[in-house]
């Protein structure tokens, strides 16, 4: 399953997972971060997944499985385990509401108190958990999982193999209000939708606003954490990842393979180039036009330059002391020169 090579007792049996620093006999664990290497020699785990290049400095009793990437291999096993643990029955629980015009695929699970509106399409193998709302003309693709309490508004499209966690809202109105001469605000109707492409995961309590006109687009393979705000007409590129509590303002285009840290704020109508890395709590106020650029700070700027600035800032007290010493030295030299003159 993970393409590994066994080193030790090939008959070793395990029944559960454990962290390497806590695992006991009969448990499977992994080592990917060198910071935890010390536990490799003291853990009671029976089976440990390690990188192929891992060198042993001491003898160990556990059986090893050597793989190209221990973290990815462990994730594969966790995914398989989760699939077994979370298998849902096929069928429709009651009470639930399914409009007569809705089209429900084969092998679908629909939990109690779900609402499936007019002309909704639910693809084969999809899982719709209790309390989900699917508005009219919305689509949920094949083998997607919509967890409890998710609200998907009218006309929104969710692709295949998508996971949306509890409490998320897909397709709420974008924040559009036109200021009026009398100081009030007139609501701008939001008539677009949200399109979530295949193999996307969206965390709990994340909100993705519908486009004012056109679509807010989450492209294939993107991974969104909990508690995000994605505004109207934003585009998030293929395989980009965004950590919790980040916010992206309207019409900003995030490229492919971008990494955005927690609590990042990005203003509207910007372009974020492919491969950009934005450090946690950064505030991005200008477009990032060069691919694979790393930025940090508020306002965000080049990551390496920021680290140099921080290093210099830590030395400011010492530099101030040296400047004062130089000033005293210059003053003394000047006084000596005046006396000799």
Over residues 157-178, the pLDDT tens digits come to 999 999 999 999 999 999 999 9
Q: Specify the long-range contacts of residues 273-278, CB closer than 8 Å, at least 24 apart.
A: 274/237, 277/303
Regarding whether 219 and 137 lie in a shared domain, the answer is yes
How many structural domains is the chain composed of?
Answer: 3
What single string gives the DSSP state of each residue in 236-304?
E-TT-EE-TT-EE-TT-EE-TT-EE-TT-EE-SS-EE-TT-EE-TT-EE-S-B-STT-EEETTTTEEHH
| Domain extent at residue 147 | 91-303
pLDDT for residue 291: 97
Low-confidence stretches of the chain (pLDDT beneath 70): 86, 341
pLDDT for residue 300: 82
Residues in the chain: 341
Regarding whether 194 and 329 lie in a shared domain, the answer is no
Regarding whether 272 and 292 lie in a shared domain, the answer is yes
Regarding whether 197 and 219 lie in a shared domain, the answer is yes
pLDDT for residue 304: 84
Regarding whether 108 and 13 lie in a shared domain, the answer is no
pLDDT for residue 341: 67
Regarding whether 160 and 57 lie in a shared domain, the answer is no
Regarding whether 186 and 279 lie in a shared domain, the answer is yes
CB 125 within 8 A of CB 131: no
Regarding whether 181 and 100 lie in a shared domain, the answer is yes
pLDDT for residue 39: 94
Point out the residues that are catalytic. 232
Percent of the chain topping pLDDT 70: 99
Among candidate residues 245, 263, 248, 189, the one with its CA nearest the CA of residue 218 = 248
């Amino acid at each position: 399953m993970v393409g590994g090579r066994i080193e030790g007792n090939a008959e070793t049996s395990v029944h559960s997972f454990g962290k390497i620093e806590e695992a006991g006999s009969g448990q499977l664990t992994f080592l990917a971060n060198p910071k935890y290497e010390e536990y490799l020699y003291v853990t009671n785990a029976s089976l440990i997944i390690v990188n192929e290049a891992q060198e042993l400095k001491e003898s160990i009793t556990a059986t090893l499985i050597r793989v190209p990437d221990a973290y990815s291999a462990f994730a594969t096993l966790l995914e398989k385990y989760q699939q077994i643990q979370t298998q849902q029955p096929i069928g429709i629980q009651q009470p639930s509401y399914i409009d007569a015009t809705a089209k429900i695929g084969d092998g679908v699970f629909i939990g109690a108190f779900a609402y499936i509106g007019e002309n909704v399409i639910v693809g084969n193998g999809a899982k719709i958990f209790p309390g989900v709302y699917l508005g009219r003309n919305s689509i949920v693709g094949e083998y997607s999982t919509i967890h409890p309490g998710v609200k998907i508004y009218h006309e929104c499209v969710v692709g295949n193999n998508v996971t949306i966690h509890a409490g998320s809202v897909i397709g709420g109105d974008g924040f559009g209000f036109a200021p009026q001469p009398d100081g009030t605000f007139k609501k701008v109707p939001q008539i677009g939708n949200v399109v979530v492409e295949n193999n996307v995961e969206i965390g709990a309590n994340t909100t993705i606003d519908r486009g004012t006109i056109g679509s807010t687009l989450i492209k294939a393979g993107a991974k969104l954490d909990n508690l995000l705000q994605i505004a109207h007409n934003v585009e998030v590129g293929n395989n980009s990842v965004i950590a919790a509590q980040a916010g992206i303002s309207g019409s900003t285009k995030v490229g492919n393979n971008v990494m955005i840290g927690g609590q990042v704020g990005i203003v509207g109508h910007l372009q974020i180039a492919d491969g950009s890395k934005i450090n946690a709590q950064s505030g991005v106020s200008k477009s990032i036009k060069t691919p694979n650029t790393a930025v940090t700070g508020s306002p965000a700027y080049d990551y390496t330059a920021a680290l140099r600035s921080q290093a210099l800032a830590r030395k400011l007290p010492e530099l101030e002391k040296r400047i004062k010493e130089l000033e005293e030295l210059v003053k003394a030299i000047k006084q000596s020169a005046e006396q000799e003159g």
